[in-house]
Amino acid sequence: MALELYKPEEATRSRGLLAVLMATLLGYGVFSLYEFLGFDWWQQDLARGLLGDEFPFSPRVILSTVIMVVVGVGIYLVVNHKKIVDFLIDTEAELHKVSWAPRHEVVSSSIVVIVTTIVIGLFLFFVDYLLNGLRTWIPWDNFWASVFGG
């Protein structure tokens, strides 16, 4: 059957995550297209009377829906493609072989990174503040002329 999944018992997490991420991107793209096509001439030209007053579908609704359905089928085909599924299966198998760092080590390393970032940020803030103060304190317009006697 055409709608059967290729190796449905394997790579379920990564396949599902890939489908959700692609569907989110599709939703954002279709919504952006819908908003982009929201100019008045679309609404005044064809919005009323296309399917009657009972179904006030504008061409932008129809176009967005068609694109969503076509790309949704494309997402299903991509998530079910043999090479992609085999790649995801191999990737999950390799990730199970990885020796991950213990939680306490990850937390302590993250704290070191955050504290170092804050310290460097504060240092750069004070250096910038000092240099800005020097810029206003020293008259730079004729500084070099007064230094070299010109």
Segment 50-59, tens digit of pLDDT: 555 666 666 7
Of 45-59, 109-123, 135-149, the one with minimum mean pLDDT is 45-59
Above 60 in pLDDT, residue 88?
yes
In a domain, 3, yes or no: no
At residue 143, the pLDDT reads 75
Specify the 3-state DSSP secondary structure of 54.
Answer: coil
pLDDT classification of 138: cutoffs 50, 70, 90: confident
Above 90 in pLDDT, residue 110?
yes
* Closest C-alpha to 67, from 28, 123, 122, 17: 28
Boundary of a domain, candidates 82, 97, 112: 97
- 73 lies in the same domain as 121: no
Domain count, the chain: 2
- Measure the CA angle with vertex 144, ends 141 and 147; round to 5°: 130
Cα separation, 27 vs 25, whole angstroms: 5
- 92 lies in the same domain as 18: yes
Specify the 3-state DSSP secondary structure of 27.
Answer: helix
In a domain, 5, yes or no: no
- 39 lies in the same domain as 70: yes
Q: How far is CA 62 from CA 13, 48, 69, in A?
A: 33, 13, 11
Q: What percent of the chain has pLDDT over 70?
A: 84
- 21 lies in the same domain as 91: yes
In a domain, 23, yes or no: yes
At residue 63, the pLDDT reads 82
Query: Which structural domain range is residue 80 located in?
Result: 12-97
At residue 1, the pLDDT reads 46
